[in-house]
Amino acid sequence: MGRFSASAGSCGIGVASSSAPAVNDAVRELKSQLTGDFQHIIALFSVDYDGAEVAAALAEAFPDIVVSGCSTSGGIGPAGLMESGLLLIAFPRQGFYIQTGVIEDVGASGVERASELVRELKSKIGAKQGDGKLAERVFGIMLVDGLSNSEELLVAAVHWACGDMQLIGGSAGDGLTFERTSLIHGGRALERSAVLIMVESEFPFRIFKTSNFEPTQIKLVVTAADTENRTVHELNAEPAAREYASAIGLMPDELGPFSFASYPLVVKVGGDYYCRSIRNMNPDGSLSFFCAIDEGLVFTVARPKDMLSSTARTLEDLDQALGGIDLVLGFDCVLRRLDAENRQVRRQMEDLYRNYSVVGFHTYGEQLNAMHLNQTLTGVAFGSRRGAR
């Protein structure tokens, strides 16, 4: 049997994880430990599990509970960072009201469906309790196929339909293989899809983001690119990988996930810098990205600041604002995990996440309102004082 841990805070959200290698064994462990009256479960699983098997096993184990989820590039569980396994985050019936839906084929047709789904879910939430401002008690979570190349259009459409209601989420991963991601909902396994979860909370919550980079003076201009596939062929009219490597003081054959994590590329939008992280280097010397790119885009090479202290400050501020954090649901870029490992602060990050009850997964991209981001931790922090605002 695999290593197992479970916990539940004052707001009643149950969290359990298992690293059992077989899906049925993992689900059996988790079912025996998740006690309570739950209405929705978010399931986060590593790619050594088959998505269809996870969906079927969870539907059988929890027949009266809607289960949504996705494959990951690693989990954040009660016991620390998870390389493999299954993590369940279970929302109770008391204190929360949740509605969910699926956006299939997240290309052009998915954008129209996204707006329709938001309106449909908002009407169900609003029908339950019409008083008060929706954004003060309701937020959205979106899980999306991290290889769909459609996050920017999708998150913009969903956020527009959400109005002033905030949106967070993450892009499903498959470790670092970039071949196939999986989403699940209601006993089904899905591809090229997104799951939208609308949460009404009687507990106080705060939506947040934190990142740890600062821009340098080095600029790289995209001069040749395949925008549909998010691939840059030339930077500053030179082969992309060679020019990027030169800018950060490496040889092209030294490039890899750790260098991409340590030297992110950022773009300036509305006065702020946002990461447009490199996913991988291709055999022809081009660079593939996690986010949308275009010819003429001006990248700035960034250098990381202290991830541990910047994340700690964010969590401390949330703790103070909420009068104590009960649980944090986080969407953490896989490159942040790699950077933590590279700088040998992984154990300290695990301790920090445990201290503030952070759970979630490592993503191929993070969603915050209308933005699809990289190399960022986004999420929602819940307080324990029910009815407080």
**What number is the average pLDDT over the span 42-61?**
96
Q: In this predicted model, what pLDDT tens digit does every residue of 76-112 receive, in sequence order?
A: 999 899 999 999 999 999 999 999 999 988 876 677 8
| CA-CA-CA-CA dihedral for 44, 48, 52, 55, to nearest 10 | -30
Per-residue pLDDT, 389: 42
C-alpha closest to that of 375 among 254, 227, 240, 257: 257
Lowest-pLDDT range of 63-67, 135-139, 280-284:
135-139
- Encode the chain in three state secondary structure: CCCEEEEECCCCCEEEEECCCCHHHHHHHHHHHCCCCEEEEEEEECCCCCHHHHHHHHHHHCCCCEEEEEECCCEEECCEEECCCEEEEEEECCCEEEEEEEEECCCHHHHHHHHHHHHHHHHHHHHHCCCCCHHHHEEEEEEEECCCCCHHHHHHHHHHHHCCCEEEEEEECCCCCCCCCCEEECCEEECCEEEEEEEEECCCEEEEEECCEEEEEEEEEEEEEECCCCEEEEECCEEHHHHHHHHHCCCHHHCCHHHHHHCCEEEEECCEEEECCEEEECCCCCEEECCCCCCCCEEEEEEECCHHHHHHHHHHHHHHHHCCEEEEEEEEEHHHHHHHHHCCCHHHHHHHHHHCCEEEEEECCEEECCEEECCCEEEEEEECCCCCC
Per-residue pLDDT, 100: 96
Q: Is the pLDDT of residue 332 over 80?
A: yes
Query: pTM, whole model, 2 decimals?
Result: 0.89
- Residue count of the chain, please give it: 389
Q: Is the pLDDT of residue 8 over 80?
A: no
Q: In this predicted model, what pLDDT tens digit does every residue of 105-123 receive, in sequence order?
A: 887 667 788 888 999 998 8
Q: Is the pLDDT of residue 57 over 60?
A: yes
Q: What percent of the chain has pLDDT over 70?
A: 94
Sign (positive or negative) of CA dihedral 113, 114, 120, 123: negative
Per-residue pLDDT, 1: 32
Q: Is the pLDDT of residue 4 over 60?
A: no
Q: Write the CA distances from 291 to 2, 224, 285, 348, 375, integer angstroms.
A: 35, 16, 18, 29, 11
**What number is the average pLDDT over the span 59-73?**
97
Q: What percent of the chain has pLDDT over 90?
A: 70
Domain locations in the chain as residue ranges: 1-210+305-389, 213-303
- Residue 274: pLDDT band (50, 70, 90) is confident
**What number is the average pLDDT over the span 343-349?**
93
Per-residue pLDDT, 343: 87
Q: In this predicted model, what pLDDT tens digit does every residue of 309-331 receive, in sequence order?
A: 999 999 999 999 999 999 999 99
Residue 373 contacts by C-beta under 8 Å, 6 or more apart in sequence?
A: 209, 211, 274, 275, 291, 333, 365, 366, 367
Q: Is the pLDDT of residue 385 over 80?
A: no
Token couple for 8: 């539940």
| CA-CA-CA-CA dihedral for 274, 77, 30, 383, to nearest 10 | -80
Sign (positive or negative) of CA dihedral 125, 100, 118, 383: positive
Amino acid at 291: C
- Residue 9: pLDDT band (50, 70, 90) is low
Q: How far is CA 170 from the centre of its chain?
A: 2
Q: Is the pLDDT of residue 388 over 50?
A: no
Q: Is the pLDDT of residue 42 over 50?
A: yes
Sign (positive or negative) of CA dihedral 352, 312, 197, 99: positive
Q: In this predicted model, what pLDDT tens digit does every residue of 23-36 receive, in sequence order?
A: 999 999 999 999 88
Q: In this predicted model, what pLDDT tens digit does every residue of 130-188 receive, in sequence order?
A: 445 788 899 999 999 998 888 988 998 899 998 889 999 999 999 989 899 999 999 99
